[in-house]
Amino acid sequence: MPSPLPGIRWNPLTAFALAIPSILFAAAPEPRQPKLQIVNAGVQRVEDGPFVPRDYKFLPGDYLHFEFAVSGFKVSGDAYSESRQISLNYTVEVVDDKNIALAPPERGTIRDDITPQDKKWIPKRRASFLLPSYIAAGIYTARVTVEDVLAKTTAKAEYPFQIGGPAIRPVTTLTLQNFRFLRSQQDGPGLEVAAYRAGATVWARFDITGFKVGPANSVALQYGVKVLRPDGSQIFTRPEAANEKIATSYPPQFVPGVLSVTTTPNLAGGEYTMVVTVHDLIGNQDRETSYKFRIE
């Protein structure tokens, strides 16, 4: 093989030696940026408490606490910079299965200085939410979104949790659900046999559903009661037993109702009927429902 340069004998070793400088002086690749992640996150019953198990059920009106940390964020500058920072934005929200927020979301920023001693440090944040009072039993979701401003990346994660409120079936018209007679004003599962002595007070509780929700999640309901003898004649009536006007940040899924009727000591035994009439003032709809109880 002829030599490409005068006075130099060409061979494969010579070609390898000439290539060495380009290998030695090639730029080292930059370290790969780790992936932005939400870690050590979950729903809590109390702040800084353990994460609740999957079968735990919050009650309507409870506080829900949420905690999370962030890893894989970008740090400004390099390892030799005196001042290095991180820049993160985050949003935490709790939503139902229709993606409606149960409470206003919590938003924040994380702007922290990083030192060489903070190699393993990751930022942690907390959020708290007051759950709605008029919310049904079901599975809901806590959702967190983190944006890394420097890296221009985003991470999202969802954490389901349960609320153990009343069991409400979906309806499209005004309906009474979960009606139960009670022995006293105290709420409970209801009497298996709705039987009372003459002179006792008959208590009843129920959940009103299927009403229309107005502006600002407002609800306007009115309900009354009457009692009929076994022969169908009326012995008691109260057309406007209660008025319910509420407005909440979350559209109510139900409105609880309670009624009581005190019987007379000389009331004859037999099967009586409690008739509950509900008026939806916003939706312009009415509903009348009857329930049987006995005087023994």
Indicate the fold that domain 37-163 takes in CATH: Immunoglobulin-like (2.60.40)
Determine how many CB atoms are found less than 10 A away from the CB of residue 175: 18
Contacts of residue 239, Cβ cutoff 8 Å, sequence gap at least 6: 224, 226, 277
Q: Which residue has the tokens 């393993």?
A: 120
Phi, psi for residue 215 in degrees, rounded to 5: -60, 145
Task: Judge whether 236 and 253 are in contact, CB under 8 Å.
Answer: no
Asked if 100 contacts 136 with a C-beta cutoff of 8 angstroms, the reply is: no
Return the CATH number of the domain spanning residue range 175-295.
Answer: 2.60.40.3880
Q: What is the pLDDT of residue 2?
A: 52
At 20 the three-state DSSP class reads: helix
The DSSP element (H or E) to which 111 belongs, if any, is: strand 106-114
Residue intervals of the chain classified under CATH 2.60.40.3880 are 37-163, 175-295
Q: Residue 81: what pLDDT?
A: 61
Distance of CA 288 to the CA centre of its chain: 33
Q: What is the pLDDT of residue 9?
A: 55
Under a CB-based contact definition with an 8 Å cutoff, are residues 253 and 177 in contact?
Answer: no
Q: Torsions phi, psi of 76, nearest 5?
A: -70, 155
- Cα separation, 291 vs 261, whole angstroms: 13
pLDDT digits (tens), the chain, 296 positions: 455 545 545 455 444 444 444 444 445 555 677 899 999 999 999 999 999 999 999 999 999 999 999 999 999 876 666 678 999 999 999 999 999 999 999 999 999 888 877 778 999 999 999 999 999 999 999 999 999 999 999 999 999 999 998 999 999 999 999 999 999 988 778 999 999 999 999 999 999 999 999 999 999 999 999 999 999 999 999 999 999 999 999 999 999 999 999 999 999 999 999 999 999 999 999 999 999 999 99
Give the list of residues 6+ apart from residue 17 with CB closer than 8 angstroms, or none. none
What pLDDT shows up at residue 23? Answer: 45
- What pLDDT, on a 0 to 100 scale, did the predictor assign at position 79? 62
- pTM (2 d.p.): 0.82
DSSP state of 149: T
pLDDT of residue 82: 65
The per-residue pLDDT for 33 is 75
Distance CA 274, CA 263 (A): 12
- C-beta of residue 268 within 8 angstroms of C-beta of residue 296: no
Residue 142 contacts residue 257 (beta carbons within 8 Å): no
